[in-house]
Structure 1
Amino acid sequence: MADQADVENALAALVANAIYPNGTGAASVTGQVCKVYRGYPNPSALDADLAAGIVHVSVMAGDRLVRNVTRYPRQWQVVKPVSQVLSVMVQGVSATFSGTCAVGQLAGVLVNEQTFSYAVQASDSPATVASNLAAMIRAAGWIVNYAGAGLTVPGADRFAARVVAGGGALQEIRRQVQDFKVTMWCPSPMVRDEIAPVIDEALTAVKFMPLADGSAGHMVFAGTATQDGGAETSLFRRELVWAVEYPTTLAQMAPAMLFGTVTAMADAVVLGDFQS
């Protein structure tokens, strides 16, 4: 089911795709080094990066309480399968993505017992899929080597990567609207004014944002604010707020199984530990 974390991950991916359309292994569209992540920045790391001219973009839930807007009947809705046009090749602890990207596909990486899944966005390329998965794996504490459309997790004892296409059915059991803040922490007002329109345009272009469970979040612009740190600091901040309406769902065979385990017994086969 969709969760606040799924919405934050999807928003962070849209922001990263806008800033790094060829993945983080290439230069950003504005020329600045940018770090995109969920949550509030670490103050000491932020200060050091701002002094070095590095931009931070954080994505987190807003301060307003979640509003319950449940209004649809509980009915199973078939999720039409899409053609799988993205593929991945695995060699040891490395994965390389290729092909084309289409909404409805789910890319995933298994590192030891941890799974990382990414709902492919319309703005993606194989390089940005690899880049966004690398960011998730790195956020979990793993060392990740990333270049082009490939990633490597040298410390992994067990490694797998797959791409699946969505299908099955979803039943919506709740619907909510929640504010999410996309905040740019910049070293100068010029840098802020250069990067803010790139992110604003990319998010404004999206009306329904695909989520990892096969559903989508409806995005509505909810406001913006600018804050200058003053002469004594090097922090220049811009905040974009989006109200996202997204469902909580039950799933049947959706979106697809990325990873699972099979235990063979004398007279039966037990399936378990599925991750999607």
Structure 2
Amino acid sequence: MADASQVGLALAYVCAGILYPEGLEKPSVTGRQTIVRRGWLLPSDIFAAQNIRNNTDFLTVTLAPQKGVVVPEPLGRPWQVQARVLPTVSVKQSAQAVCIAFPSDGVPSGVVGVWYEAGKTQISAAYAVTEQDTPETVALALAGQLPKGLADENSVQVPGYNLAGNVVGYGQSVRVNRRQNQRYRVSLWTADSGVRDTLGQFLDTELAEKSWISTLDGRQAQLRFVSVEDIDTMQNQALYRRDYLYELVFDTLQVQWSSDMMFGAGTVSAGDQVSSFGAIEPAFDNSVVLHALEAMQAAQTSQAAQNSYPGMMVNQFGTVVCQSH
């Protein structure tokens, strides 16, 4: 889920990509070192050896105050499926047992379920696979949920009954809780007024072509130009600054991960006769499912950020640096 700080970070990544079109390890568009940061200048940026007065330029991205603007969100806040994660684990029927198989490579994922009929009762068990699991641990967890269940290496069985099995994946559902308009200040800092003009013109031209930028949750934010101004109140310190103001419209989302339906149940009525069918969903450990989903969501968020801004990260000071550093 994108918040104001994450959207500001995405804007900083965009600016870094503009100033370093061949990558952060290559020269900038001016040939000078240009440091991109989400946040204000630090005292060391002005007074340390590597500072503005030593042919080092800075670009900062900060939140700017503004009057609140109401941007209507979708009527009714409908839920939509944004992403699906297919299972990589599989099951196979073997005699009266169900065997669990893991992929030869990659991370195992999915919810494994087994069930059988005992008279008119459907008995079932389910387990959410985590990265630390093996086929043996999954079989053991499932067997522990079944009356008289037995685990033999990667297989599950209940003596005297024929087991059936299935594996399902996960879906990520989202809805827009709030759509907001946030203003950001993109500031250029340099000791050379000519460099300020060169950097500013290049940055302004490139950002003018972008109506949308990718956010770190894999979605989009709308980019709107507001104004530009030179701030020369620090000329007596040989410091020149130019501010570009932009508004970004983005969504605050509610995200829900859930597994696909594995067990179906219902009733059929005909007059006074009512009959039930299907397997009743088991009451398995919820914490295991939540941990599996949280890890999956974190991996998806990280992957979305890397897909949009590969090779970039920020250090503890908010400076955009190469991920390999």
TM-score range relative to shorter protein: 0.5 to 0.7
Aligned length: 179
Distance 1:230 1:58, change over 3 A: closer
Gaps of 5+ in 2: 85-170, 259-283, 302-325
Q: How far 1:65 sits from its partner (Å)?
A: 4.2
Distance 1:80 1:44, change over 3 A: closer
Q: How far 1:197 sits from its partner (Å)?
A: 1.6
Q: Distance in 1 between matches of 2:181 and 2:4?
A: 10
Q: Distance in 2 between matches of 1:232 and 1:44?
A: 19
SS in structure 1 at match of 2:10: helix
Q: How far 1:215 sits from its partner (Å)?
A: 2.4
Gaps of 5+ in 1: 82-166, 255-266
TM-score relative to the length of structure 1: 0.59
2:60 corresponds in structure 1 to: 58
Distance 1:218 1:205, change over 3 A: same
2:184 corresponds in structure 1 to: 180
Confirm whether residue 270 of structure 1 aligns to residue 288 of structure 2. Answer: yes
CA contact (8 A) 2:16 2:36 kept: yes
TM-score relative to the length of structure 2: 0.51
Q: Distance in 2 between matches of 1:46 and 1:198?
A: 24
Q: Distance in 2 between matches of 1:52 and 1:12?
A: 23
Choose 38-47 or 175-184, whichever is displaced more: 38-47
Q: How far 1:24 sits from its partner (Å)?
A: 1.4
Q: How far 1:251 sits from its partner (Å)?
A: 2.1
Q: Distance in 1 between matches of 2:185 and 2:234?
A: 22
1:24 corresponds in structure 2 to: 24
2:82 is matched with which residue: 79, 82, 91? 79
Q: Deviations over 1:239-262 (max 9, x none)?
A: 0000111110122459xxxxxxxx
Opposite residue 270 of structure 1, the aligned amino acid is V
Q: Deviations over 1:161-191 (max 9, x none)?
A: xxxxxx8442111111010000000111101
Distance 1:230 1:12, change over 3 A: closer
1:170 is matched with which residue: 156, 163, 174? 174
How much identity, in percent, do the aligned residues show?
27
Q: Distance in 2 between matches of 1:207 and 1:189?
A: 28
1:212 is matched with which residue: 200, 210, 216? 216
2:232 corresponds in structure 1 to: 228
CA contact (8 A) 1:66 1:179 kept: no
Opposite residue 22 of structure 1, the aligned amino acid is E
CA contact (8 A) 1:204 1:221 kept: yes
SS in structure 2 at match of 1:232: helix
CA contact (8 A) 1:20 1:26 kept: yes
Q: How far 1:50 sits from its partner (Å)?
A: 1.2
Distance 1:70 1:57, change over 3 A: same
Q: Distance in 1 between matches of 2:234 and 2:215?
A: 39
Q: Distance in 1 between matches of 2:203 and 2:257?
A: 34
